[in-house]
Amino acid sequence: MAPVNVKKICCIGAGYVGGPTCAVIALKCPQIQVTIVDLNQSRIDAWNSPDFSLPIYEPGLVEVVKQARGRNLFFSTDVDKAINESDLIFVSVNTPTKKTGVGAGFGADLHYVESATRRIAAVATSSKIVVEKSTVPCRTAESMRTILESNCRPGCHFDILSNPEFLAEGTAINDLFKPDRVLIGSLQTPEGKNASAALAGVYGNWVPKERVLTVGLWSSELSKLAANAMLAQRISSINALSAICEATGANIDEVSHAVGFDSRIGPKFLKASVGFGGSCFQKDILNLVYLSESLHLPEVAAYWRQVVDMNEYQKSRFSRSVVETLFNTITGKHIAVLGFAFKADTGDTRETAAVTLIRNFLAERAYVTVYDPKVEVSQMWQDLTEACPDWTLEQLQKYVTIVHDPIEACKDKEAVVIATEWKEFLEIDWQTVYNHMSKPAFVFDGRLLVDAEKLRKIGFKVKVIGRGERV
């Protein structure tokens, strides 16, 4: 049986994963028609906007879309048409952590995955390869296969593959152009291996063969959770050490540099910060915790839960340090928070540390002014209202101001808190910032970003996370 010759691809979900991934596939595979579908009309309109005002910010993405859109890359809300015409369907929908019911706070909400799967079964008139692209719990493919086989039309056959993404926001396009690996999981049956070979053939248009790994379906699903959990574990480990550094006078930069020289460890993901965020790390670790508990492995669950606990501790510790340094009270004081995205080079705010910091400052009744170069103002208000359920929007707006200029954000403030490592914060005219701040003027660097000595020469009191210097 020869692998399916994939001529048309459909991607259900036009978000942070599906959009960039399938845009790059279209760019690299001009012979394949790629249609990205979503029920959100405004999101599709943004993908189709004449001025390329795309719904997500990712360096290099606009250039990719400009080259492929209208040629073999299309964006549409006609989900049924795209499903019917495609040989291969990526399911790339949101899988947030459940907020209610069994597994609330830990398990993944698979409502959107199930809805997409049922839609495929209901409208497909021919056999398809269906690919899990969303991050899902182990054996989700089994549920998808059951739904498809129970609801499909006579004569239709579906092969399920797992093809998890390993993208870092801010570098996603480069990650797609030159991936460390492409992982494809399938049932180890002739039909499953055939479907796997078909998807491998798509990636083979630009990814070296040795970087395309084909494994069992369940191993592929677990590998995604395992990779994110171990990366987050490194961050929480170095953040735990940053607390020791501050208490002893050590320098976390020097410690991580020295540790990173060990060839068994390496330097990546050893940079201390106010905490990790984003759509994957915390969600996937909690998913792993839930899976471990479901399998009656409480010690394993407790081990992985501690990674998340350490991340939350780092945020609260940093917030507490700001209060203690500002003479043990920030009530009525004015604080600038530079950065709202969970990291630089993205507009994504999911699990961003900035929200936790601002919420903690508001609990002390401080006034906060926020600036971020990419996050939409409406998104900031949405995140803050969700994080502060006891506050009305009107109450929040009395204490929080959102501005469009970093200098303006810092004007007349007692302290500046760097919450996101945007490069432009390095280029701020810090002398001007100092001149227009209340004195003493404090800078709290939660991202190891600024030149602390340079700022101290200007006159700032500087406190950098993971360094034992006394302000």
Cα(437)–Cα(291) distance, rounded to whole angstroms?
Answer: 50
Q: In which residue are the tokens 């910032």 written?
A: 433
Q: What angle do CA 126, 130, 134 make, to 5 degrees?
A: 150
Q: Is the dihedral of CA 328, 330, 334, 338 positive or negative?
A: positive
For 316, 340, 354, 366, the CA distances from 348, given in Å and listed in that order, are: 21, 9, 12, 25
Q: Tokens in use for 249?
A: 């006078």
Cα 273 from chain centroid (whole Å):
16
Q: Which CATH superfamily is domain 281-464 in?
A: NAD(P)-binding Rossmann-like Domain (3.40.50.720)
- DSSP category for residue 76: E
> Mean pLDDT, 10 residues at a time, over the chain (471 residues)?
82 95 98 97 97 95 98 97 96 85 79 91 93 81 87 90 92 96 95 96 97 94 92 96 95 96 95 91 91 95 96 97 96 98 95 97 98 97 97 97 98 98 96 97 97 97 90 60
- Per-residue H/E/C for 266-295: CCCCCCCCCCCCCCCHHHHHHHHHHHHHHC
Burial class (CB in 10 A: 0-12, 13-18, 19+), 153: exposed
* CATH fold of 8-207: Rossmann fold (3.40.50)
Cα(13)–Cα(223) distance, rounded to whole angstroms?
Answer: 22
The closest of 264, 263, 355, 367 to 315, measured between CA atoms, is 355
Stretch (H or E) spanning 162: strand 158-162
Cα(466)–Cα(346) distance, rounded to whole angstroms?
Answer: 25
pLDDT of residue 447: 97
Which residues touch 279 (CB under 8 Å, ≥6 apart)?
16, 169, 348, 350, 351
Q: Tokens in use for 92?
A: 């790339």
What are the backbone dihedrals phi and psi of residue 82, each rounded to the nearest 5 degrees, phi first?
A: -65, -40
What 3-state class would DSSP assign to 373?
coil
Buried b (16+ CB within 10 A) or exposed e, 253-287: bebbeeebeeeeeeeebbbbbbbbbbbbbbbbbbb
pTM, full prediction: 0.89
Q: Tokens in use for 133?
A: 């692209």
Q: Of 10, 280, 388, 410, which residue is the catalytic one?
A: 280
CA atoms within 13 A on the CB side of 399: 22
Which residues touch 222 (CB under 8 Å, ≥6 apart)?
138
Stretch (H or E) spanning 24: helix 18-28
Q: Is 280 a catalytic residue?
A: yes
DSSP 380-435: HHHHHHHH-TTS-HHHHHHHEEE-S-HHHHHTT-SEEEE-S--GGGTSS-HHHHHH
**Cβ–Cβ < 8 Å for 460, 444:** no
Q: Regarding beta strands 73-76 and 33-37, do their DSSP bridges make them parallel or antiparallel, or are they unpaired?
A: parallel
- DSSP category for residue 363: H
The domain limits of the chain are: 8-207, 281-464
pLDDT of residue 471: 60
**Cβ–Cβ < 8 Å for 298, 329:** no
What are the backbone dihedrals phi and psi of residue 213, each rounded to the nearest 5 degrees, phi first?
A: -100, 125
- DSSP category for residue 211: G
Stretch (H or E) spanning 311: helix 298-325
Cα(294)–Cα(298) distance, rounded to whole angstroms?
Answer: 9
The closest of 86, 34, 108, 41 to 64, measured between CA atoms, is 34
pLDDT of residue 2: 57
Cα(419)–Cα(275) distance, rounded to whole angstroms?
Answer: 9
Decide if 8-207 and 281-464 have a common fold: yes
